[in-house]
Amino acid sequence: MSEMKTSKDEWEVATMSVVKDITRYLDEYKYNLAVERLREFFWHTYCDKWIEETKDIIQKDPEKKIELLARLIAILALQMKIMHPFAPFVTEKVWQSLIMLDLLPGESELLMVARWPAVKK
How many whole angstroms separate alpha carbon 54 and alpha carbon 67? 10
- Three-state DSSP class for 101? coil
Average pLDDT over residues 84-93: 97
Residue 82 in contact with residue 19, Cβ under 8 Å? Answer: yes
Cα 4 to Cα 58: distance, rounded to the nearest angstrom: 10
Per-residue pLDDT for 1 more than 50?
no
Q: Please list, in sequence order, all residues whose beta carbon lies within 8 angstroms of the beta carbon of residue 76, skipping any fewer than 6 positions away.
A: 46, 94, 98
| Position 4 pLDDT exceeds 60 | no
Domains of the chain: 8-113 (1.10.730.10)
> Which amino acid is present at 34?
A
pLDDT in tens, 7-36: 777 888 999 999 999 999 999 999 999 999
28 vs 20: CA distance, rounded Å: 12
Among residues 118, 111, 117, which one has the least CA distance to residue 87?
A: 111
List, for residues 52-85, the tens digit of each pLDDT value: 999 988 998 888 899 999 999 999 999 999 999 9
